[in-house]
Amino acid sequence: MFSDSFLVFGAGAWGTALAIQLSRSKQKVVLTSFDKNNLLEIKQYQENKKYLPGFPLPKEIGVQPYNTALVEQAESIIICVKSPYFLAAISLFNEAMRNKNLFWATKGFDPETGELFSVVVEKALGEKTPYAVISGPTFAEELAEGRPTAITLATNNINNPNALAKQMSNRSLRVYLSDDPVGVQLGGGLKNIVAIAAGASDGLGLGANARAALVTRGLDEIKLLGKELGGNEKTFMGLSGMGDLILSCTDDKSRNRLLGLSIGKGLSFEEAIKLQNDIPEGAHAIKTLVEKSVVSDKQPIMFAVYQLLYKGLDVKKVAEELMLRPIKGEF
């Protein structure tokens, strides 16, 4: 094994920003991805002009096309790809893993099965694979810039996670530990759906009162559903739950919130994703979760997002129906 500590797979904005931060933490880092052309451009300009322009990569970060030798030389692998590509990414590592630590920062669910990525990993690489989930309220630009950021590292089968958290932390990145990878994954995946709803509310111009109520009730939906699916209730009040929800629902750097804003202003789903040139994770998540009967009208805010995106319901009518539901206790 060579001295490279982390192999970051996925050279989008988030993967690049995380590589920059790990380098600041004095770790040896190699950045790779499926996109060979982008890797060549990053290496040429020492900057990810396609996904994270304006943030030069430290010269210590290696940028290389993927090959199995990179996995063999790394101590830990971090996956930073969008949910539709997660299985394809981990499938590359099958023979080379050899009990290396596998991390992922992908937020969402398997688009075919609706399963958590921990289940996907156990099926593809074996139940004994040591893995951890990285999640929390983070925007790539602020992470790359070195603004103060806190994230959660969740694992229940990696040896000495405290040492790993210390390795990754620095003056601008603080890593907290959790032993609830299920809850951390659910918080990171479900909050994206609520962020679309918050954007739609603001796009309609419903005001700050409406946004605060929607975010609060959305958190309740996340907490109740997350607990039902095996997460710890406390987790949803932490960085990967409430923290990430607040960030995604209130800041226009959130792609999920931007999608909702477009819907609230009258654009169709197709027009909105064309405008963004992207399908945000929340849109993938709600489609899969409703189709797999994980989310239903028992989660009225999240189900309303499905109706807006995939049934074409009028956004004003959906907002009105949410307000006119039968009265019940808050808790």
Report the C-alpha gap between 218 and 236 in whole angstroms.
11
The tokens for 93 are 């590592």
In order, the DSSP letters of 187-234 are: HHHHHHHHHHHHHHHHHTT--HHHHHHHHHHHHHHHHHHHHHTT--GG
Q: Which amino acid is at 233?
A: E
Strand 6-9 with 29-32, pairing: parallel
**Those residues with Cβ within 8 angstroms of residue 94's Cβ, 6 or more apart along the chain or in another chain:** 124, 125
Q: Could you report how far apart the first and last alpha carbons of the chain are, in Å?
A: 53
Verify whether residue 317 is a known catalytic residue: no
Strand order of the sheet with strand 149-154?
Answer: 62-63, 29-32, 6-9, 76-79, 101-104, 131-135, 149-154, 173-178
3-state secondary structure of 81: coil
> What is the phi/psi pair of residue 153, to 5°?
-110, 110
Which of 82, 100, 107, 191 is catalytic? The answer is 191
3 state DSSP class of 98 = coil
User: What residues act catalytically?
Assistant: 191
